[in-house]
Amino acid sequence: MPVGQVIRSHSNIYYVLVDGREVECRPRGKFRLDRLQVRAGDEVEVTLAPDGEGRIEKVLPRRNCLERPPVANVDQCLVVFTLVEPEADYLFLDRVLVHVEQAGVEPLILLNKIDLVEEADVAAFVRLYGDLVGYRVLPISAAEGRGLDELRRHLAGKTSVLAGHSGVGKSRLVRALEPQRADVRIGDLSAKSRKGRHTTRHVELIPLTGGGLLADAPGFTYLEFQDIDKWTLRDCFREFARYQAECRYADCLHRKEPDCAVRDAVEAGAIPESRHRNYLMFLDEVEAMKRW
């Protein structure tokens, strides 16, 4: 039975990439009875009818699944971030990174709009999130095409999803990577709020010319920690792992416990103080939600 990958859906019709060909498919009725949601990125078994249409017979086990945006079997998440237009929101960036870490997806931070800031500011960001925290960081300018050749090498042969605030340039980046995709809308910043307008309304996996699939998903402004406990939250801050084995207590939450090696690393500048501060804010939020 042929196996394909769902690249988009509309009104219970799913478009599945099978052997390089896009096939319009409908799911079996049992999916509705079982309340099984087929998502972009799902690998599915299909039967093909003589007229060229297909039917989804089975959804294969997922390697991972993101909730925001809702997409499955992702190799990497491209977290698009800007220092200006819109202004840098590190609290939101760390919130997105926690969700990506929790899903077991590898992040790649794309620092976009570097044409609008000083090189020293770009270098400071790379040091903070690259050298100190340990993420891959790629400075780019979708407007000028800077860094896009290197980005294409990261995309080849992988399923990637874009994530980030509205207005950081996700749709413009898709247009820069795939100029023939004239159907991707580009939104302007609101003159009043300097925040982006939502231009993407659904998740779609776009086959890339250089190989791989890229999901352009709706922008969002807030993410809650509904399905995460305080221990998982702690482990989603990857820079803590280098030090927490040296904490006095194995269950140390790096808040007020004595002999906390993570807090010592923060004081020594080995862990960014801003990351630890945001972690403590998230920890309060998670504990507050668990009391209700």
Angle between helices 148-155 and 170-177 (to 10 degrees): 90
Do 50 and 76 belong together in one domain? no
Q: Is 113 annotated as a binding residue?
A: yes
Q: Is 254 annotated as a binding residue?
A: yes
Which residue range forms the structural domain that includes residue 52? 3-59
Distances (CA, A) of 289 to 68, 100, 222, 225: 19, 20, 16, 8
Q: Is 114 annotated as a binding residue?
A: yes
Asked whether residue 254 is assigned to any structural domain, the reply reads yes
**Average per-residue pLDDT in the chain?**
87
* CA 59 from centroid of its chain's CA atoms: 22
Distances (CA, A) of 83 to 139, 168, 195, 197, 223: 11, 9, 13, 18, 20
Q: pLDDT for 151-173, tens place per residue?
A: 999 999 999 999 888 889 888 99
Is residue 176 pLDDT above 60, yes or no?
yes
Do 167 and 85 belong together in one domain? yes
User: How far, in Å, CA of 74 to CA of 68, rounded?
Assistant: 12
Q: Is 247 annotated as a binding residue?
A: yes
Asked whether residue 224 is assigned to any structural domain, the reply reads no
Q: Is 252 annotated as a binding residue?
A: yes
Q: Is 112 annotated as a binding residue?
A: yes
Which percentage of the chain shows pLDDT scores above 90?
A: 64
Confidence of residue 292 (pLDDT cuts 50, 70, 90): low
Do 154 and 98 belong together in one domain? yes
Do 32 and 85 belong together in one domain? no
Q: pLDDT for 9-65, tens place per residue?
A: 887 899 999 988 899 998 887 776 666 788 899 999 999 988 888 999 999 999 998
Asked whether residue 73 is assigned to any structural domain, the reply reads yes
Is residue 251 pLDDT above 60, yes or no?
yes
| Residue ending a domain, choose from 59, 74, 98 | 59
- 247: domain CATH number is 1.10.40.50
Asked whether residue 222 is assigned to any structural domain, the reply reads no
Do 164 and 246 belong together in one domain? no
Do 69 and 149 belong together in one domain? yes
Q: Is 264 annotated as a binding residue?
A: no
Is residue 130 pLDDT above 70, yes or no?
yes
Asked whether residue 221 is assigned to any structural domain, the reply reads no
Asked whether residue 29 is assigned to any structural domain, the reply reads yes
> Do 103 and 65 contact (CB within 8 A), yes or no?
yes
Residues paired with residue 146 on neighbouring β-strands, in sequence order: 141
Count the domains in the chain: 3
Do 123 and 173 belong together in one domain? yes
Q: Is 65 annotated as a binding residue?
A: no
